Amino acid sequence: MQAVKIGLMGLGTVGGGTATVLIRNCEEIARRVGRKLEVVHAAARDIADQTILDGSKVKLSEDAASVVNDPDVDIVVELIGGYSPAKELVLQAIENGKHVVTANKALIAMHGTEIFKAAEAKGVIVAYEAAVAGGIPIIKAIREGLAGNKIEWLAGIINGTGNFILTEMRDKGRDFDDVLKEAQALGYAEADPTFDVEGIDAAHKLTILASLSFGIPLQFDKTFTEGISKITREDVNFAEELGYRIKHLGIARKTDKGIEMRVHPTLIPEKRLIANVDGVMNAVLVKADAVGSTLYYGAGAGAEPTASAVVADLVDVARAMDSDVNDRVAMLGFQPASLQDTAVVSADDFETSYYVRMLADDRPGVLADVTRIFADNDISIEAVIQKEPDEGQTRACLIMMTSLIVEKNMSKALSKIEALDSIEGDVVKIRLEHLS
């Protein structure tokens, strides 16, 4: 049988890894698919910089459009990243009747609706397993493995760079910037690393996971996003003392009010398996009605782990490309006509617990004032710790943990607490989830 012909756009960390895995494992892959997967054309910005494809018969080019317009190419692999020109190239590939495999979470989260529509009209497949959690086959797990379930919620560590930074800060007391530089050198960080530390990368991925889980349209603009840039070593240490770890989580949950989609630093009990996912590793915990809780763990970034997902998509596309379009797995798991416009819950109505830390005058009545404000706003306190003032200081550190509350109540309470003369500066607040 004729080989399936692949065009690669991008030969950076993931593109290089993909070419390497396709070459190294070509026999094993052909045994699975029943035909060879052969790279016939590759484009990169500086083609002279790549060495992986030297000596091969692969056409090399510095113009990605030449891959998209190459009549020999059956499947275009987009590993350029970012919104543009990736979007235009992918739409042109679809227009040319080619299947597409992409690792681009920003592209799918922002423009997935338009891209899937164009692909459906042309009868081609767009596959994007590598867009979420690197090498973990989480899209396949949710879309196919859990297809018999109603998904209730999921919580994931879905940005390797952020997890690497939090882990190194906790374990080695390293500086934020120093760890970030290492993540960039190792090829984990986004081209714009603010995407990692401000939570945007995780929000792209969470948007995709929420659509796959609940059969809703992709709505990146409605995903609440908060990064890790304001997390201090002090809070990491206090959390540890209280039996919690601070992780940057993406959470999607179906509630009576609609779907919560949120990405933010979160305290989680240290005894949860997911609390012990460290370094660049990712994990996604999914709670579904029939199966209960399942946990998916693995490398969330890096050349070959991400290539593993790209190549798995190539295998899937090669297996399905000659099938009737109606026999294929829907790109978001739910039939396009069955996507539901379920309400997305606004941040004010999120239900979560909280860790708060404040600097307070060390005198009678201060704690009573604070707890009164919490009580007036329907906030129940589960634990209080007071750290004595440091030598020569008059302010004590007050740490409190709340039970489950509605977020707008916390905002009201904190603005009143911050206005008290006895409280210095802003109150630090970090959401807390028990994930039980």
Question: Could you list the residues that contact ligand HSE (CB under 6 A)?
Answer: 134, 159-161, 188-190, 196, 201, 300-301
Q: Which residues are catalytic?
A: 205
Question: Which residues are known binding-site members for NADPH?
Answer: 105
Q: How far is the CB of 201 from ligand HSE (least distance, A)?
A: 5
Give helix then strand counts, H and E, for the chain.
14, 17
Q: Which is nearer to ligand HSE, 75 or 301 (CB)?
A: 301
DSSP 147-200: TTSPEEEEEEE--HHHHHHHHHHHHH---HHHHHHHHHHTT-S-SSTHHHHTSH
User: Which letter, b or e, does each residue of 199-222 get, where b requires 16 or more Cβ atoms within 10 Å of its Cβ?
Assistant: bbbbbbbbbbbbbbbbbbbbbbeb
Q: What's the CA gap between 321 and 241, in Å, rounded? A: 54
Q: How far is the CB of 105 from ligand HSE (least distance, A)?
A: 6
Q: What's the CA gap between 16 and 134, in Å, rounded? A: 15
Backbone phi, psi, residue 63, to 5°: -115, 105
Question: Which residues are known binding-site members for L-homoserine?
Answer: 190
Q: Which is nearer to ligand HSE, 168 or 201 (CB)?
A: 201
The verdict on whether omega for the bond into residue 364 sits within 30 degrees of 0, i.e. cis, is no
Q: Which is nearer to ligand HSE, 118 or 189 (CB)?
A: 189
Q: Which of 10, 160, 164, 228 is nearest to 100 (CA)?
A: 10
Where does 277-347 have alpha helices with state H?
A: 303-320
Q: Which is nearer to ligand HSE, 203 or 301 (CB)?
A: 301
Longest dimension (CA), the chain: 83
Query: At which residue do the structure tokens 């993540």 appear?
Result: 183
Per DSSP, the three-state class of 429 is: strand
User: Would you give the DSSP letter of residue 351?
Assistant: E
Q: How far is the CB of 395 from ligand HSE (least distance, A)?
A: 37
Q: Which is nearer to ligand HSE, 184 or 219 (CB)?
A: 184
Q: How far is the CB of 93 from ligand HSE (least distance, A)?
A: 21
Q: How far is the CB of 134 from ligand HSE (least distance, A)?
A: 5
